[in-house]
A and B are shown apart, each in its own frame.
Chain A
Amino acid sequence: MLDWFWLVELAFALAAYIVLDGFDLGVGILSGFAASAARRDQMVASISPVWDGNGTWLVIAGTILFGAFPAIYSIALPALYAPLSAMLAGLIMRGVAIEFRHKAHGSRWVWNLLLFAGSLLAAFAQGVALGAYAQGVPVENMHYAGNGFEWATAFPLWCGLGAVLSYGLLGAGWLVLKGENDLRQFGCSALNRLTPMTVLVLAAMFAATLVDHRVIEARWQLHPALFVLPLLSLATLIGLPLAARRGEGRTPFVLAALSCALLLVTLAASYLPYVVPFDLTIAQAAAPASSQTFMFWGGGLFVLPIIVAYTYVAYAVFRGRVSSDHAYH
């Protein structure tokens, strides 16, 4: 029972990470196309107070995995050694770029470049890691048994592209939500350009999964109702530019977040109860009950809701649009 509680909490932390850090990584990627220093400053100002808290969800998800499902942790991380190292390098570079860029005078272009490149690298590497994991890693006797290069095939790399585009959409939605005039315009036009590409890439990912894995295909044929999930995701994606065109501030971001969440649910529906694709089920990967219980009575039951509450408070402090006279030091 606790296995499932922790799986749900893990999925929640992952979804929170993808939506929250997704938008600030997306803004980082879009900052490479800002075209003017003033616009880039505003883009960075819109994420400066919150990016650090957003990134925390990755660590929360990672430590839930480590504590509640150590078997997954000890198989997935060696298998994803290269993409995860690249992701960490990207996250480090863009993190310090956000902190350092307003301190720099002559070298600001270095940090602008690192903000863009680091965000791009982190987003791409996350997609690659997810794709490599979903396509299945070789496992023997509860140990990873591959050569470390399973990620270097077409499907994971394609997923990397999908992650970059999805994060770009989230970032554009965030700019529409937080920006005024010029920045908002920029966000809208980014949404218009990114949406068709994202739809294409994600649809190809979905089709490739069905074709590649007989097990998944069989499941989807057995339960055609599942097709509602990708269709809903498609509908939300198409709704994005429409909502932006009607001048709605909040809707595009909410729709982008919703479509990411739906994709995660689609993924779960395709694989569960396997948590290491087609090798380990959730029961086999779970930590001993004493570990999961210890985490449940403190962190799981009480602290996580408190984190959600104060995250909301922090966002409320910085609510409202970022305008050009907004003084971030």
Chain B
Amino acid sequence: MEASALLLSRIQFAATVSFHIIFPSFTIGLAAWLSVLEAMRLATGNPVYRRVFEFWLKIFGVAFGMGVVSGIVMAFQFGTNWSELSRASGPIQGPLLSYESFTAFALEATFFGVMLFGRNRVKPWFYLMSCMLVALGTTLSAFWILVNNSWMQHPVGYVVQNGVYVPTDWAAIVFNSVVWVRFPHMLLAAYLTTAFCVAAVGAWYLLKDTSRVEATVMFRMALGLAAVLVPLQILFGHLTGDYIHDDQPVKFAAVEGRWVDEQPAAEVIFAVPDVKAERNRYEWKIPVLGSLVASSTLDSREVGLKDFPLADRPPILVPFFAFRIMVGCGMLMLALAWIGTCMARRGKLEERRWLLWPVALSFPLGFVAVLTGWFTAEVGRQPWTIWGVLRTADAMTPGLSAHFALASLIMYVLVYSFIFCFGVYYILRIIRSGVFSGKVLTVWNGHVIAQTYEPRLPATSRASSSNH
């Protein structure tokens, strides 16, 4: 009974948090990019930016709403399913989450209303400021969540009194080095996720030979940004790996698929770890590279999984494969961003269909990388909820009945699947109906000719058509 309530609670948290992260990782970047577009339009007066802005604002509206409603569930689950965690670490995680709601959640939700509905009611500078405040809110939200999660990975600045973690050094909790490699890593991941969605839509319009000007703006801005950010992201990914190597050696060994100590260590590129036999099958590895990656030396000794008791090892398969999928997505993004940017500089994008097709299909890359990255971090943290301090089995609500856990899990899965299907459907419909929301006369040579002249109609029918 206990074990199954534990398993169900873990599945529920994993399912809801995975569903939730899809939306912020898209909207954090989109909010920032919309602010840039609005600022560029104000500075240049170029109506192309305005059209691209209005188009992506519609998608932002759908995605942001789903992110907000799915996010409310997270904080409540700490209490309902993980009450031992919230009792013990509430004095630390509670204030961090309250800072999130105070500085971020309220800000983005309030000005989101202005962004969506207030264009004609406020001055242009106020509108731009609203966009920037929404972007600031989403960024701060990510910051506090990463501070919170980093404390669970790397608990510092506290003492234990009567089974409760009492904070003693907030500066250490908020400003430790782990936060400051993981927060940029997440922020860059979000920007890249958005960039590849934007580039994919631009590429798709170019393939369809419609809205060529707007599509080119999307393609060039998105891939140009990605060309700079992917290398930066690889750097921060490496720094994140450094902290895991130093702080969580068993997680590092699981990610590397290393069973026994090696000196110098090899890097496993691909394998199928056999957990029972405690060895890898179908292994393909490169000698010495493991030491180079882990310690930046050619002869360092790297520890293997067998050094740790079974009870302290994470599940091996999930971190091992998730990490490789994440890195693979990163490499694909790097290739697409660099080749795409080079080609975009040479012009005539609409004729390079060999490039447009892969870019148009690249929109899932960012999402897959974000999800697998978090799987690596979170599953790799097991069997601990707070690393080295509180085991997941001890964090659960004592006496939680499996019936409650099962009922709520089924309910969340049903509700989330329902809204996810409709959300995706509406986003696809916005994309299909094109950049121009008004009447389109014709498409000529890749340019949309919009109907700007409204023929005189009798008063009644004009009213009904403007309501549309």
Which residues of A come within 8 Å of B, CB atoms? 48-50, 52-53, 55-60, 62-68, 70-71, 73-78, 80-82, 84-85, 88-89, 91-93, 95-96, 98-100, 103-104, 107, 142-145, 147-148, 287-288, 290-291, 294-295, 298-299, 303-304, 307, 310-311, 314, 317-318, 327-329
Query: Are the C-beta atoms of B121 and A89 separated by less than 8 Å?
Result: no
Known contacts: A49-B117, A63-B100. The answer to whether A291 contacts B95 by CB under 8 A is yes
For the residues of A in contact with B, the DSSP-based class is helix
B109 interface contact, C-beta 8 A = yes
Query: Are the C-beta atoms of A77 and B80 separated by less than 8 Å?
Result: yes
| Shortest CB distance A200–B (Å) | 32
Which residues from chain A contact B86 at a C-beta distance below 8 Å?
66, 70, 73-74, 77
| The one of A52, A67, A88 that contacts B76, using a Cβ cutoff of 8 Å | A88
Query: Are the C-beta atoms of B415 and A89 separated by less than 8 Å?
Result: yes
Known contacts: A74-B79, A74-B86, A287-B91. The answer to whether A56 contacts B419 by CB under 8 A is no
B73 interface contact, C-beta 8 A = yes
Q: Which of A145, A304, A317 has the most CB of B within 10 A?
A: A317
| Shortest CB distance A98–B (Å) | 8
Query: Are the C-beta atoms of A304 and B118 separated by less than 8 Å?
Result: no
B284 interface contact, C-beta 8 A = no
Q: Would you mind naming 8 contact pairs between A and B with Cβ atoms under 8 Å apart? A: A52-B109, A59-B105, A60-B102, A62-B101, A74-B90, A80-B80, A88-B73, A311-B106
Q: How many Cβ-Cβ contacts under 8 Å join chain A to chain B? A: 229
9 smallest beta-carbon distances between A and B, as pairs: A70-B90, A77-B79, A67-B94, A99-B65, A74-B87, A66-B94, A49-B113, A63-B98, A53-B110
Query: Are the C-beta atoms of B79 and A91 separated by less than 8 Å?
Result: no
Number of interface residues of B (CB under 8 A): 70
User: How far apart are the CA atoms of A107 and B423 in the complex, in Å?
Assistant: 13
User: How far apart are the CA atoms of A59 and B97 in the complex, in Å?
Assistant: 9
| The one of A107, A288, A327 that contacts B91, using a Cβ cutoff of 8 Å | A288
Residue of B nearest to A299 (CB): B102
Query: Are the C-beta atoms of A67 and B65 separated by less than 8 Å?
Result: no
Which residues from chain B contact A288 at a C-beta distance below 8 Å?
91, 161, 164, 166-167
Query: Are the C-beta atoms of A67 and B408 separated by less than 8 Å?
Result: no
Query: Are the C-beta atoms of B109 and A82 separated by less than 8 Å?
Result: no
| The one of A52, A84, A148, A329 that contacts B113, using a Cβ cutoff of 8 Å | A52
Query: Are the C-beta atoms of A290 and B422 separated by less than 8 Å?
Result: no
Mark each residue of chain B from 53 to 87: 1 if its CB lies under 8 Å from any CB of chain A, else 0.
00000000110011011101101101110011011
Query: Are the C-beta atoms of B76 and A84 separated by less than 8 Å?
Result: yes
Which residues from chain A contact B75 at a C-beta distance below 8 Å?
59, 62-63, 66
Apart from A56-B106, A311-B110, 5 more pairs, CB < 8 Å: A53-B112, A55-B72, A56-B101, A143-B83, A287-B91
Query: Are the C-beta atoms of A287 and B94 separated by less than 8 Å?
Result: yes
| The one of B69, B117, B404, B426 that contacts A103, using a Cβ cutoff of 8 Å | B426
Q: Which of A84, A100, A147 has the most CB of B within 10 A?
A: A100
User: How far apart are the CA atoms of A52 and B84 in the complex, in Å?
Assistant: 31
Query: Are the C-beta atoms of B90 and A314 separated by less than 8 Å?
Result: no
Mark each residue of chain B from 93 to 125: 1 if its CB lies under 8 Å from any CB of chain A, else 0.
111111111110111011111101110111000
User: How far apart are the CA atoms of A49 and B78 in the complex, in Å?
Assistant: 30
